Amino acid sequence: MPSSTPLSPETCARLTRRGVLTLPALAGAGAVLSGCGMLKKGGSASSGKSSGAASPRAVATATGPHGGVMLEAEWKGAPLSVEVGPAAVNGKYAVVRLVFTTTSDDKVSLFQPFGSTYRPGTMVAIRMLSLDKGLVYRELDEEVRHLYDDVEKNKPREVFPVFLAPPEGVDVVDLFLPYVGVATGVPVLKDTEADFLVDDVLSKAKLDESEAGPFKIETMSLAADDSSDTKQDEKSTTVTVAGDVTFATDSDQLSAQADSVLATVVEQIKKFPSGGELTITGHTDDVADDAHNQDLSERRAKAVSERLKKLTDLSAWKESVSGKGESSPRVPNDTDERRQINRRVEITLTPSKAAESSASPSASEAPSSATVPDPAGPVGKGPEGVDVKVSGKTMHMTIDHVVRVGGYLTGKVVLTSSEAVSMPVAPFALPGKMMEMRGLSGVWYVSSLTILSGGLRYLEADYAYPNGNRVPLANNFVYSLEPGTSQSLPVVWPDVGEDSITIDMPAGEYLYTKERVVARLTDIPVVNA
């Protein structure tokens, strides 16, 4: 690896702008930093907690021969190194260089991992991120020719995904590579500074800009006791409190638990001392007639408004209180469980100064009544891992550590099998209720890797296309494993503001399968990028 070679001043400058600690592990960072004169002999690359045992074949180095970020993974049993970057900007586009190498005697096919179910052979599943600004960019080149050729031993294979350019002044981006990892701090250069022909790449590309982005990263957390959930996007925060928890049945009388549930709303309000617009809207199911439901929804919204005024100061907020009865269901009113989801009050905060809230989430945002649920499956420390079963076959699941960058956490869970495992993606999807509450559809995503913190369950970060389709920042598929092979599942989560985290795969059925992977990984160190 080139990390032992003295680095140029230009490369060191790029590294020190943002740091060199990349997913998924820290090994190799010390050598790179010492090459920049940043560490003395025997020094350490990080002051954070030790990440413990490394995931199998998942050690990342900091910089490659072209000044990009190095990731190490495995694909179909073969070791795979990927140099990510730089990202070269030419007008409205950014072209990223990816260099794949392997030490395997067998050829490594790239045709599967970076496309999608509908467009195999493309690179559309690779996403460029600006975690500092909370943005996602879709890959634009529809050509499949880039991945026709396999990666051979000692023969680097280059490909060049194309994205819209990041905003002016952004000097680093992040790349999400399915089955490999998240490369953080990828340097952004002008096309004239790149050592590849950007114009040539663009002239041969077949660009589709219909869903180019950028899309704003959004987040959602659920109270572990199902009393509320919180959604955050670029402009607003919406806390939804469950009607069955907050009120007596078919009544506007607040329950004994109401103050604990509304504590989540109070914490959000306190983040924005300059205030803004506060909208409180009541909703019901469809059981009673329209007039009754409309009246009940209005009375419940008014009750929440009056109680919030006693719990916190709302003088800086312009308040709007209304009810929509059964007219705006969250999910279809076709089962008792779904009707329960629709009985709710939504409190939306649109702050006048969104930048006032810069702090990471914390356990204080959880309702005081919430408790961490008992584990429903095997439990183990993240670096050590746990055994889980799919179709009666055993796999080992680990996560070495996660990286904090730009208000988010990045990491990757590694699955390793000692026997052949046929791997449908459905066992790695959220339970049906959680999926519906988030607005996810289909099973083509690994969506069940949630973080438990302070009585809240944080779902994976995601984004939504203009048509409403929501996409988690996670793999869209899980491939079968052969004996002795591993597969990486990279994920991006909201930052929960802790030094270590717990990942929980919750119990519950999903529409397409009753078999789901349920497990908990604890004591996962958080390191800063």
CATH number of 279's domain: 3.30.1330.60
Q: Is 370 a domain residue?
A: no
Claim to verify: residue 246 and residue 126 sit in the same structural domain: no
Q: For residue 480, what pLDDT is reported?
A: 86
Residue 443 lies in a domain: yes
Q: Which residues of the chain have pLDDT under 50?
A: 1-61, 359-369
Residue 65 backbone phi and psi in degrees, to 5: -65, -20
Decide: 317 and 276 in contact? Cβ < 8 Å. yes
Domain-located, residue 373: no
Looking at 339, 365, 391, the residue that finishes a domain is: 365
Upstream peptide bond of 24 is cis (omega within 30 degrees of 0): yes
CATH of the domain at 418: 2.60.40
290 residue type, one letter: D
Buried-exposed string 266-276: b where 16+ CB fall within 10 A, e elsewhere: ebbbeebeebb
Per-residue pLDDT at 111? 82
The 10s digit of each residue's pLDDT in 235-262 is: 899 999 999 888 988 899 999 989 989 9
Q: How far apart, in Å, do the first and last CA atoms of the chain sit? A: 21
486, β-bridge pairs: 416
Q: Which of these three, 305, 331, 365, is where a domain ends?
A: 365
Domain shared by 135 and 188, yes or no: yes
275-294 pLDDT, tens digit each: 999 999 999 999 999 999 99
Asked whether residue 238 falls in the same domain as residue 285, the answer is yes
Same domain, 336 and 429: no
Q: Examine residue 165 and state whether it is found in any structural domain, yes or no.
A: yes
Residue 448 within a domain:
yes
Read off the pLDDT of residues 405-439 as tens digits, 9 standing for 90 and up: 989 999 999 999 988 988 766 788 888 888 888 88
Residue where a domain stops, chosen among 216, 245, 274 = 216
Look at the chain and report how many structural domains it folds into.
3
The string of DSSP letters for 385-412 reads -EEEEETTEEEEEE---EEEETTEEEEE
Task: Verify that 287 and 395 share a domain, yes or no.
Answer: no
- In terms of domains, do 169 and 207 share one? yes
Mean pLDDT, the chain, rounded, equals 82
39 shares a domain with 115:
yes
Whether residue 26 is contained in a domain is answered as: yes
20 domain-assigned: yes
466 and 496 housed in the same domain: yes
Q: What are φ and ψ of residue 70, in 5° steps? A: -95, 135
Is the domain of 423 the same as that of 483?
yes
Let me know whether 27 and 173 are in one domain.
yes
Which residue, 162, 131, 126, is CA-closest to 18? 131
On whether residue 197 sits in a domain, the answer given is yes
Identify residue 173 by its one-letter amino acid code: V
Report which of 59, 189, 180 is spatially closest to residue 123, judged by C-alpha positions. 180
Clarify whether residues 190 and 276 are in a common domain: no
Kindly state whether residues 200 and 261 are assigned to the same domain.
no
Q: Which residue range(s) make up the domain with 203?
A: 2-216
> What is the β-pairing status of strands 519-528 and 379-381?
parallel
